[in-house]
Amino acid sequence: MKLLIKNGLVVDPANKIEDKLDVLVNNGKIEKVGKNISDKGAKVIDAKGCLVIPGMIDMHVHFREPGFEYKETIASGARAAAKGGFTTVCCMPNTNPPIDNQALVDFILFKSKEAGLIDVLPIGTITKGRAGEELSAIGELVTAGAVAISDDGSPVMNAEILRRALEYCKIFNIPVIEHCEDKNLSGEGQMNEGFYATKLGLKGIPKAAEETMVARDIIIAGEMNARIHIAHVSTAGSCELIRQGKKNGVMVTAETAPHYFALDDSALEGYDTNFKMSPPLRSKEDIKAIKKAIKEGVIDVIATDHAPHAELDKNIEFNPAAFGIIGLETAFSIMVEELIASKAVPLSTAIAAVTINPAKILRLNKGTLTEGVDADITIANMDKTVKITEEFFASKSTNSPFIGRTMTGTIEYTIKNGRIVYENK
């Protein structure tokens, strides 16, 4: 089957393309990208006024299966991803049981195939049971199909264990993805430490809880000449440490999440638990620094940290409420509003952060519209608005801080291997 996408603004950062072009898809692959393509047998999508980009990649989601299927399943998460314009996502292993063996990697891949919408790629744990004590069988995880390892949700507090994980992963050339949080410093903290935490009487999480771990990890990775990927960067200080690390030649890459450049800790007034996440929302100055870091390529990737939680976990008192928010279906709108429309970040840089950059870090042959690659394509509108309601979400959970807002930027089509898996009707 052939698909011809006409008249769109094609942005393919890997190939340095940003132009009004047509894209022809044949047999699930990109056949041609060029001007005025015509093909009689192809189904035509008119992408006039739309952006045509490589299928977006989210390297940090929580699909909760196995163990917490009441929050999300791989199938429901895949639907949310497709709706959000993502054709590939990587799911974190903090499930129950955690993904620390090859049988569970197989399970994720099986469930992904069964859902049949997008690629859900597993990330294995760094340590057995995510307990931070003994290395997982990393080789077996990778052989089964894990694309990275992480104990996300928790840091590897023991620096020696992190060191060994970093060294050992050189065999496989996969990134170790670290959740940077010194648990002693974050303690029982509920939100960013500062004026609003003081005012609201909520225990604070200092920026140092993140930054000391970012610094530690970069130093160890530098000395071991190994790869480290810093998850969900939330502070200006972390950006600065990563900038320095890169300058010094350390193999450090980093991601941030859309909420860290859209919201600050003043949003916690009112105690809405949909603004509670880890790391917490920080200050306006941090937002500015994060946007700058994306623009300069210090932060390579935008990943949603899609963290579904049910009513039971969220509609309760603030302290026991779960950390985390969903993000797959609002990510593109936030990027449009905060980065692209406001010109804080050039269009191709923003798109690279959800396409070619995560693909490179994970060594996936994805994230481009190069002729011959899998036809994973996202078609989006940067002017159309959408009202965010609970009914809007395909995710099983609706723990979004953006409910009630009208947002600019919509996903019109998500195409996976040449097949339309989402269409905005």
Least distance to another protein, CB of residue 69, Å: 21
Task: Please choose, from the candidates 57, 109, 99, 47, the residue with its C-alpha nearest in 3D space to the C-alpha of residue 82.
Answer: 57
Which pair of tokens denotes residue 257?
């999440």
- Selected from 200, 267, 373, 394, the binder of another protein by CB under 8 A is 200
Least distance to another protein, CB of residue 310, Å: 12
Per the residue annotation, which of 12, 217, 264, 305 is the catalytic one?
A: 305
Q: Is the Cβ–Cβ distance between 180 and 214 less than 8 Å?
A: yes
Nearer to another protein, 197 or 344 (CB): 197
Task: Please choose, from the candidates 17, 39, 1, the residue with its C-alpha nearest in 3D space to the C-alpha of residue 371.
Answer: 17
Site string for another protein, 141-180 (x = CB under 8 A): ----------------------------------------
Nearer to another protein, 152 or 265 (CB): 265
- Selected from 55, 85, 93, 194, the binder of another protein by CB under 8 A is 194
Site string for another protein, 223-262 (x = CB under 8 A): ----------------------------------------
Beta-carbon neighbour count of residue 316 at 10 Å?
12
Nearer to another protein, 202 or 218 (CB): 202
Interaction of residue 308 with another protein, rule CB under 8 A:
no
Q: Is 119 tagged catalytic?
A: no
Least distance to another protein, CB of residue 212, Å: 17
Interaction of residue 41 with another protein, rule CB under 8 A:
no
Site string for another protein, 260-279 (x = CB under 8 A): ----------xx--------
Size of the site for another protein (CB under 8 A): 20
Interaction of residue 286 with another protein, rule CB under 8 A:
no
Measured in residues, the chain has a length of: 425
Least distance to another protein, CB of residue 207, Å: 11
Nearer to another protein, 178 or 193 (CB): 193
Interaction of residue 198 with another protein, rule CB under 8 A:
yes
Site string for another protein, 309-338 (x = CB under 8 A): ---x--xxxxxx------------------
Interaction of residue 204 with another protein, rule CB under 8 A:
yes
- Selected from 19, 67, 195, 385, the binder of another protein by CB under 8 A is 195
Least distance to another protein, CB of residue 91, Å: 29
Least distance to another protein, CB of residue 214, Å: 21
CA distance 133 to 110: 29
Q: Which residues pair with 177 in a beta bridge?
A: 150, 229
Q: Which residues make up the interface to another protein (CB under 8 A)?
A: 193-195, 197-204, 270-271, 312, 315-320
- Report the catalytic residues: 305
